[in-house]
């Protein structure tokens, strides 16, 4: 394996967000000999990380690498760091970005690992960063792929995908993250990676509901497959490459989220299927459940791009219209008959896939 030598990696990096994924990314970078400054908004988490090398709320029973230093100061976190990893829930972004703006932060490279859209305009995170910070697209990168934090911190084999309009940045990130248990691919389609990451959470809610209702493997496979079809339809309409949806950020992350006990979205859906209210099911996680906000955002995007998304609509009916999961099954099963391939034709004129 050709991996960049330590002296070619940055000495210092910043990670904003000390939830499960931010902490796991900080640990991963620290193990590659980088000094990591990790921002948490909560003083008690900062103290626990600095004193006990633990983040017991988000990653219990895990000893963090000593190269991690936590702080509640955003300015201290980013000062002098050529790479800033942004790993907070999508809902926290406006607040974080406003804080960064308050000290006229001018970033070198921002790498985000957020799987959601920024409301109220359903912006992809990379677009939002360009609008709000003094940053051009060459300075932004995204991380996607099937990667539960709980497994990554335990050095369990995992793959990721990184993307940036700057090829150098994508390759640098590949080197920064890659190890004998973490295999990192590059993919030039950052639009597709952002969209796939946000939308798979909706499908995981839906698979969870099916499991909560007592349905079997046939239903799970059907929802994942037809879910991927609707993710791809919207993604392609928004400018993504169809190939991304059969890659790690697409079908890879869809599988990891829809079948895993680690997934907060899957578990929330299952509780809904078992009869809990949305509030109860989300509170039971104690962590972010991105699929709820993504469902709202996705419905607006589907309407804007004129894309049919029946599974997302069924999930929305449960989340926001008070429908019982059992009631929406017929919404999906009783639709007009159709063919699987009707959606796609190969255009003979330009040999590119198009949606009809």
Ligand X SMILES: O=C(CO)COP(=O)(O)O
Binding site for ligand X (CB under 6 A): 115, 146-148, 201, 204, 253, 256-257, 262-265, 290
Question: 83-86 and 109-112: which strand pairing?
Answer: parallel
Which residue, 20 or 219, has its beta carbon nearer to ligand NAI? 20
Q: How far is the CB of 144 from ligand X (least distance, A)?
A: 8
The residue whose two tokens read 């209702």 is 213
Which residue, 245 or 266, has its beta carbon nearer to ligand NAI? 266
CB 140 within 8 A of CB 162: no
DSSP one-letter string for 285-297: T-S--HHHHHHHH
Which residue, 77 or 158, has its beta carbon nearer to ligand X? 158
17 in a labelled binding site: yes
Both tokens assigned to 193: 């990676």
Which residue, 312 or 328, has its beta carbon nearer to ligand NAI? 312
How would you classify residue 57: left for phi > 0, otherwise alpha for psi between -120 and 50, otherwise beta?
alpha
Phi/psi at 161 (5° precision): -130, 135
Handedness of CA 179, 36, 86, 4 (dihedral sign): negative
Which residues neighbour 249 within 8 Å (Cβ) at sequence distance 6 or greater? 144, 145, 161, 187, 192, 193, 196, 197
105 in a labelled binding site: no
Q: How far apart are CA 190 and CA 124, in angstroms?
A: 10
Given 31, 32, 172, 200, which residue is catalytic?
200
175 in a labelled binding site: no
* Residue numbers at the binding site for ligand NAI (CB under 6 A): 17-22, 40-42, 58, 87-90, 92, 95-96, 113-116, 147-149, 287-288, 290
200 tagged catalytic: yes
58 in a labelled binding site: yes
Measuring CA to CA, how many Å separate 324 from each of 41, 135, 152? 36, 44, 35
The entry of ligand NAI, ligand X, none that residue 253 binds, CB within 5 to 8 Å by partner kind: ligand X
Q: How far is the CB of 85 from ligand NAI (least distance, A)?
A: 10
The entry of ligand NAI, ligand X, none that residue 204 binds, CB within 5 to 8 Å by partner kind: ligand X
- Residues recognised as catalytic: 200
Annotated binding site for sn-glycerol 3-phosphate: 115, 145, 147, 200, 253, 263-265
Annotated binding site: 17-22, 41, 58, 115, 145, 147, 149, 200, 253, 263-265, 288, 290
């Amino acid at each position: 394996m050709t991996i960049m030598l330590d002296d070619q990696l940055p000495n210092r990096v910043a990670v904003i967000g000390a939830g499960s994924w931010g902490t796991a990314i900080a640990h991963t970078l620290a193990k590659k000999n980088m000094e990591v400054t990790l921002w948490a908004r909560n003083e008690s988490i900062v103290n626990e990380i600095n004193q006990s090398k633990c983040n017991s709320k988000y990653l219990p029973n895990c000893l963090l690498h000593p190269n991690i230093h936590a702080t509640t100061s955003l300015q201290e976190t980013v000062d002098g760091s050529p790479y800033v990893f942004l790993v907070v829930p999508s809902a926290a972004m406006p607040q974080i970005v406003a804080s960064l703006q308050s000290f006229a932060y001018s970033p070198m490279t921002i790498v985000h690992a957020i799987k959601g859209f920024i409301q109220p305009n359903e912006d992809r995170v990379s677009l939002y960063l360009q609008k709000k910070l003094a940053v051009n697209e060459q300075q932004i990168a995204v991380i996607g792929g099937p990667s539960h934090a709980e497994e990554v911190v335990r050095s369990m084999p995992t793959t990721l995908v990184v993307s940036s309009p700057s090829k150098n940045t994508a390759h640098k990130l590949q080197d920064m993250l890659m190890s004998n248990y973490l295999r990192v691919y590059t993919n030039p389609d950052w639009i597709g990676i952002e969209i796939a990451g946000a939308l798979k959470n909706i499908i995981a809610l839906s698979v969870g509901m099916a499991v909560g209702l007592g349905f079997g493997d046939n239903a799970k496979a059907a929802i994942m497959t037809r879910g991927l079809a609707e993710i791809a339809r919207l993604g392609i309409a928004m400018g993504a490459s169809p190939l991304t949806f059969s890659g790690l950020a697409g079908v890879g992350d869809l599988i990891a989220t829809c079948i895993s006990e680690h997934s907060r979205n899957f578990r929330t859906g299952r509780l809904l299927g078992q009869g809990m209210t949305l509030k109860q099911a989300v509170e039971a996680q104690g962590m972010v459940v991105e699929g709820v906000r993504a469902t709202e955002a996705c419905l607006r995007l589907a309407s804007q791009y004129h894309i049919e998304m029946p599974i997302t609509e069924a999930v929305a009916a449960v989340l926001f219209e008070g429908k019982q999961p059992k009631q929406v099954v017929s919404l999906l099963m009783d639709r007009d008959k159709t063919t699987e391939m009707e959606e796609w034709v190969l255009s003979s004129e330009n040999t590119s896939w198009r949606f009809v």
